[in-house]
């Protein structure tokens, strides 16, 4: 495959890679969220498999909102006003199903949508708009203007801070570049391509953090030092810069990059989801551990749902007839309700000091 060209098989592998990579990083990182690297190791050891309920993986808002955005793209054909309208409505339904993991800014925005407040976005620099943006990059990989216009509009539904918007656009742009590269492209080549995107970031704080991440990779700085310098909080500047470090530093080994990301603590599910999405756009789903992906809880936003979304997005990209996959919202709601005792038990376990 030549750089800059995608055939039908390549594009399907890359789209599946983004969706499955997001879900894998999200589900692996979920039990590690808001823990330190030391505490993760103390409770779980090195996280390389799912740790919430047996060997089953559970995804959170990162994967669910990515799937909702993918569905909105299909329903609208990618047209901006229709896509934002569909995504806005789907977020309201998602909110009513009582999701068990969501950022405060997104929850506030969803409440405003339900109250029919036109400008639902919240002045927040959280990572909610960035965590779902990679799918825009791989679908609109060859149209930067369309990607920027739609990415900005989708971001503003929940997050209006310039750093959040720029973060979402960077996440999508990097995914677009990665999706054009052969699956076996080396990390050195990816790093060179990444520098050009970072230079185009307008927000100086975000640009500086991303450049710092690149310099830490080039100097082969340890992950422990990178955590201290870049940080791993839910602030979009921290989330993206550390996810970029993990992607570039460990990306020659796809699964290892995701594992390193989720074991670093902080906002581990979102950092894992973004790293996973970029790794999937780079190497494709064919290079991800399918045996582990198969253990992600199926049903709404599960492996089967994501597979159907990927195939229909690929058909859309290649000018073919496609369908708009749905899901059972009652199933999704019941799953969230039934998961509450599991989540409470997990919270109690994390509180035990040994």
pLDDT tens string 102-131: 889 999 999 999 999 999 999 999 999 999
- pLDDT of 354 strictly over 90: no
Is residue 104 assigned to a domain? Answer: yes
pLDDT at 325: 92
| Percentage of the chain lying above the pLDDT 70 cut | 97
Higher pLDDT pick, 312 / 337:
312
Question: Do the Cβ atoms of 236 and 163 come closer than 8 Å?
Answer: yes
Is residue 310 assigned to a domain? Answer: yes
Structural domain of 259: 8-351
Is residue 116 assigned to a domain? Answer: yes
In this prediction, residues 174-199 reach a mean pLDDT of: 95
pTM attached to this predicted model: 0.95
Question: Do the Cβ atoms of 169 and 152 come closer than 8 Å?
Answer: yes
Is residue 304 assigned to a domain? Answer: yes
Give the whole-angstrom CA distance, residue 323 versus residue 306. 13
Q: Residue 2: pLDDT band by 50, 70, 90 thresholds?
A: very low
Closest CA to 58 of 325, 285, 340: 340
Give the whole-angstrom CA distance, residue 18 versus residue 151. 16
pLDDT tens string 121-163: 999 999 999 999 999 999 999 999 999 999 999 999 999 999 9
Is residue 3 assigned to a domain? Answer: no
Is residue 252 assigned to a domain? Answer: yes
Higher pLDDT pick, 237 / 349:
237
Give the whole-angstrom CA distance, residue 301 versus residue 288. 18
Alpha helices in the chain (DSSP H): 8-29, 37-44, 61-76, 80-96, 104-114, 134-139, 144-156, 162-180, 187-199, 204-218, 223-230, 236-250, 254-262, 268-283, 290-293, 303-317, 329-351
Split into its structural domains, the chain has a count of 1
| CATH number assigned to the domain comprising residue 145 | 1.10.4080.10
pLDDT at 269: 96
Is residue 217 assigned to a domain? Answer: yes
- pLDDT of 303 strictly over 90: yes
Is residue 1 assigned to a domain? Answer: no
């Amino acid at each position: 495959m030549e750089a800059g060209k995608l055939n039908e098989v390549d594009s399907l592998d890359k789209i599946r890679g983004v969706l499955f990579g997001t879900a894998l990083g999200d589900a692996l990182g979920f039990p590690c969220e808001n823990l330190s690297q030391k505490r993760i190791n103390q409770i779980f050891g090195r996280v390389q498999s799912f740790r919430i309920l047996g060997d089953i993986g559970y995804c959170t808002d990162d994967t669910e909102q990515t799937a909702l955005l993918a569905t909105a793209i299909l329903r609208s054909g990618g047209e901006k006003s229709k896509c934002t309208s569909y995504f806005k409505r789907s977020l309201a339904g998602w909110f009513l199903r009582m999701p068990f993991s969501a950022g405060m800014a997104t929850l506030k925005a969803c409440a405003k949508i339900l109250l029919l407040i036109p400008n639902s976005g919240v002045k927040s620099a959280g990572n909610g708009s960035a965590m779902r943006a990679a799918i825009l990059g791989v679908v609109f990989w060859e149209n930067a203007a369309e990607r920027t216009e739609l990415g900005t509009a989708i971001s503003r539904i929940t997050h209006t801070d310039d750093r959040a918007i720029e973060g979402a656009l960077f996440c999508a742009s990097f995914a677009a570049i990665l999706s054009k590269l052969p699956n076996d492209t080396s990390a050195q080549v990816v790093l060179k391509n990444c520098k050009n995107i970072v230079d185009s970031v307008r927000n100086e704080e975000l640009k500086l953090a991303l450049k710092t991440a690149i310099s830490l990779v080039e100097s082969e700085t340890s992950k422990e030092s990178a955590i201290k310098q870049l940080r791993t909080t839910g602030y979009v500047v921290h989330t993206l810069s550390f996810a970029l470090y993990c992607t570039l530093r460990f990306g020659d080994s796809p699964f290892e990059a995701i594992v390193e990301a989720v074991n670093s603590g902080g906002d581990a599910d979102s950092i894992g989801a973004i790293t996973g999405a970029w790794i999937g756009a780079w190497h494709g789903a064919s290079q991800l551990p399918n045996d582990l992906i198969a253990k992600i809880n199926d049903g709404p936003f599960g492996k089967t749902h994501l597979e159907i979304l990927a195939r229909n997005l690929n058909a859309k990209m290649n000018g073919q007839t496609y369908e708009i996959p749905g899901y059972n919202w009652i199933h999704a709601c019941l799953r969230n309700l039934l998961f509450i005792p599991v989540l409470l038990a997990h919270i109690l376990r994390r509180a035990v000091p040994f």
